Chains A and B, each alone.
Chain A
Amino acid sequence: MSEKTLIPFKGTPEQEAELMKVIEAHRDQPGGLMPTLQEAQGIYGYLPVEVQKMIADGLGVSLSEVFGVATFYSQFSLTPKGEHRISVCLGTACYVKGSDKILEAVENKLGIKSGQCTLDGKFSIDACRCVGACGLAPVMTIDDDVYGKITPDQVGKILDSYSKGGADK
């Protein structure tokens, strides 16, 4: 039942030095945990166990409190984002047009769930709420590319075009 991601932590000494500066700045500040987590996510792109431990030790709060805050706010991510970020819209218009089936097809194709990242770091999936293109429902975006009016059986081909190394649509 552990929440730990299987993707290995690849923090650099430069990132760690930057994090230490952030921790130092917020150490004695009441409520300093939130801004520290925000800036830490800015440095690493997500909040892995290793980073949360450094923050807990640095600020003198328990790891369970750090984890509690990190899981309370949806803006914090405990898993890294992939090289290609897939976002499936589950807003009302897309949903009634069957975007849940699109999400399911993406999850099945990549073998991960929404909110997770593939082990090779290539893809991550998120569900989002309305990208403002309801006329194209159901909508999926990959990085800055928008795919509208898609069907579940098109998902495989679209994803394949990214795994081959380029978005040659």
Chain B
Amino acid sequence: MENTMVHLKVNGIDVEVPAGSTILQAAKTANIDIPSLCYLKDVNCIGACRVCVVEIKNRRGLAAACVYPVEEGMEVETNTAAVRKSRKTTLELLLSTHNKKCLSCERSENCELQRLSRDYGVDEDRFINEGTRYEIDDTSAYIVRDNNKCINCKRCVAACKNLQSIACIGEIRRGYNTHIGCAFDGDLADAPCVGCGQCIVACPVGALTEKDNTQDVWNAIADPEKEVVFFTAPSVRATLGEAFGNPVGTNVEGKMVAGIRRLGNVKVFNMDVTADLTIMEEANELLDRIQNGGTLPMFTSCCPGWVKFCEHYYPDFLPHLSSCKSPQQMFGAVLKSYYCQKNNIDPNKLFVVSVIPCTSKKFEVTREEQRTGEYDDVDVALTTRELARMIKRAGLDFNSLPDEEFDNPFETATGAGAIFGATGGVMEAALRTAAYKLDGSTKALEFTEVRGTKGIKEATYTVGGVEVKVAVASGLANARAIVEDIKAGRKDYQFVEIMACPGGCINGGGQPYQPDTVRNNVDLKAIRAKALYDLDEKLELRKSHESPVMDMLYGEFFEAPNSHVAHKYLHTPYVKRGH
């Protein structure tokens, strides 16, 4: 039965699709797009919004194409007068409870509701709009919810529950009073939310956005007392171009650096450098744990969403987390200690801006237990989207900018640092250096088994005579499955990499919006990741320990991996939280 093909007609075109396909999928094979608002591939499929309705011959009423399975001999019409009228009315009803302040809305021009409203020529004032009904929840450091723009498609609820196994948001009440929120209509800041932002990138409208910190950065740039430095995470160069109309997977590293430099008198550093630094510390920590009977398996700690998840849901598991700070926090610590001392700068006057693909990092910069002085080591964490917004506001023609290099002394990084932005990348980078530490003559470089967008990957490597069993998971539902397997004794690993967002940072909650018309049809994760692996392949230095910047940092400041001074600046304890 599995491979049975079903034959049907869509708008008179013969289509052949596997049994179990939906009408929406079948239509796509005939190059017919059926619009939808609640459907999002791999995330949400509930037939709730009624925008995808179609006519089926000999069937009464209209059917929701996103959930309706194909049948042999079926005849579907996707563009009849009845279908168009129904979709238009549905959109007009949605607009009756929608805050239509499109002019300044963050999603204007890529809002799925706006696009469909335009395509269907709706009358946005057909039904009386009661206006503001809900308070905006901007209590958390990472996500802002404006339910006055929400259309109750429940994509965010599905992302939180299905991808992340968290479900800290859900539908509340019923009928006209239905809205999305936390238990007891509480504040998001008090909920066991990890801030991953997968709800934001799933949202078809402007109901969910990151907490915008761009003004803080403009203020710092304008402040003559402040010296402003930026650094950009590995995956930002692989996605920023999308915000300026470039195809998915375009590496815009040079233009990104040039764009930031033109925002004001700022320096631009490469965060791949502290990805390398993380590997120096983490690979050594792993070997130390393996050789000296430490807590195993060791879990990576680069991903703030995963760390917060572990703190909320598996507090007893925290000793398994590497004590290494994330590359963002390491960079902050390096800048406010080593860099300030070397350049005679008061750390209070150095304003550090990280550009990251992540909303959870906005929480991470506020962690008091990670401070190295009486100040946050990173002052502001901007998402890829916020950086794009700043570049637009600065009036820069991004695509015409020259390609420029990062600033000294944090410009050179290795391929190992570059692949940090994709699931499996941290694991592979760590294995490259760990293998070298165990056997200096090793040729081991590419660990392809841990690559790819699969949710859970496993491999066993023998490096320097030591057998290392590893696992890689992305998406917190997969992380939960791995932790449960380990707790129950079903699995036994030495090293596990977790990234909260499916596919890793390249699919992070702070990455440029891609509407359903893109997300339903291409694998964003794979295409964006390819840009990073291509970069890795191109680089001469591909192992973190080969980086000259590592020699500089350890030679001048940190002495050696896991030294006392390295621990002071680059490692951290964690916080037990409840849920």
Contact = CB atoms under 8 A, between A and B. Distances in A.
Interface stretch (B57-65, B88-96, B114-122, B180-188): B180-188
Interface stretch (B28-36, B166-174, B270-278, B486-494): B166-174
Contacts of A49: 184
Contact of B183 (A64, A72, A73): A64
Interface in B526-566: none
B135 interface: yes
B185 A2 contact: yes
Interface centre among B161, B169, B171, B184 (most CB of A within 10 A): B184
A52 B167 CA distance: 15
Given A62-B168, A64-B167, A72 B135 contact: no
B170 A64 contact: yes
Given A1-B185, A2-B185, A49-B184, A68 B172 contact: yes
Nearest to B181: A64
A18 interface: no
A65 interface: yes
Contact of A3 (B171, B174, B184): B184
Interface residues of B, number: 18
A72 B183 CA distance: 13
A138 B175 CA distance: 28
A67 B191 CA distance: 13
Interface string A1-27: 111100000000000000000000000
Contact of A65 (B170, B173, B186, B191): B170
A73 B174 CA distance: 8
Nearest to B166: A62
A66 interface: yes
A144 to B, nearest CB: 30
B170 A2 contact: no
B183 A63 contact: yes
Given A2-B184, A3-B184, A49-B184, A67 B170 contact: yes
Interface string B145-186: 000000000000000010000111111111000000111111
Contact of B171 (A2, A4, A63, A72): A72
B167 A67 contact: no
19 contacts: A1-B185, A2-B186, A49-B184, A52-B183, A62-B167, A62-B168, A63-B184, A64-B168, A64-B169, A64-B170, A64-B191, A66-B183, A67-B184, A68-B170, A68-B171, A71-B173, A71-B174, A72-B173, A72-B174
The majority secondary structure among interface residues of chain B is loop
Interface residues of A, number: 17
A106 to B, nearest CB: 22
Given A3-B184, A65-B167, A71 B135 contact: no
Interface in A46-95: 49, 52, 61-68, 71-73
Nearest to B137: A1
Interface string A123-154: 00000000000000000000000000000000
Interface centre among B135, B170, B191 (most CB of A within 10 A): B170
Contacts of A2: 184-186
A68 B169 CA distance: 9
Interface string B111-136: 00000000000000000000000010
A68 B168 CA distance: 11
A72 B173 CA distance: 5
A64 B169 CA distance: 6
Contacts of A72: 171, 173-174
Nearest to A4: B184
Interface centre among A3, A66, A67 (most CB of B within 10 A): A67
Given A2-B185, A49-B184, A64-B191, 17 more contacts: A1-B135, A4-B184, A52-B183, A62-B167, A62-B170, A62-B183, A64-B169, A64-B170, A65-B167, A66-B183, A67-B170, A67-B172, A67-B183, A71-B173, A71-B174, A72-B173, A73-B174
Contacts of A62: 161, 166-168, 170, 183
Contacts of B170: 62, 64-65, 67-68
Contacts of A4: 184
A1 to B, nearest CB: 5
Interface centre among A2, A49, A63, A73 (most CB of B within 10 A): A63
B474 to A, nearest CB: 21
A14 B191 CA distance: 30
A98 B181 CA distance: 36
A72 B27 CA distance: 35
B157 to A, nearest CB: 9
A1 B173 CA distance: 14
A64 B172 CA distance: 8
Minimum-distance CB pairs A-B, first 4: A62-B167, A64-B170, A63-B183, A68-B170
Interface string B175-206: 00000011111100001000000000000000
A72 B191 CA distance: 20
Interface centre among A2, A71, A73 (most CB of B within 10 A): A71
A71 B186 CA distance: 14
Contacts of A66: 183
Contacts of A71: 172-174
